[in-house]
Amino acid sequence: GGAEIYSMLCDNCHGPDLEGRVGLGPSLGPGSNSSGLPDSFLETTIEHGRGRMPSFSTVLSDEQMARLIEHIRQVQQQ
């Protein structure tokens, strides 16, 4: 599921609880900038990378990407 994908690919930089890590990745959790942005922004960022974040287009299928975004959105609503 999305939580496993997040754990494997994202939490090193964005933190296990989406809290962000200084100098690595911004917070993705509740109240973060990304929580107010559309899914398409997250999808584009994950697919193509942004700043120091690499592209994951060759790593994730469309289905895995959707599960990952769904997980992020679930945590943001907690």
**pLDDT (tens digit per residue) in 11-52:** 999 999 999 998 999 999 999 999 999 999 999 999 999 999
Task: Answer whether 75's CB lies under 8 Å from 29's CB.
Answer: yes
The token pair at 14 is 């964005």
DSSP classification of residue 16: T
pLDDT confidence bin for 78, thresholds 50/70/90: confident
| HSE-up of residue 23 (Cα within 13 Å, Cβ side) | 0
pTM (2 d.p.): 0.93
Q: Round to whole Å and give the CA distance between 57 and 48.
A: 7
Task: Answer whether 2's CB lies under 8 Å from 68's CB.
Answer: yes
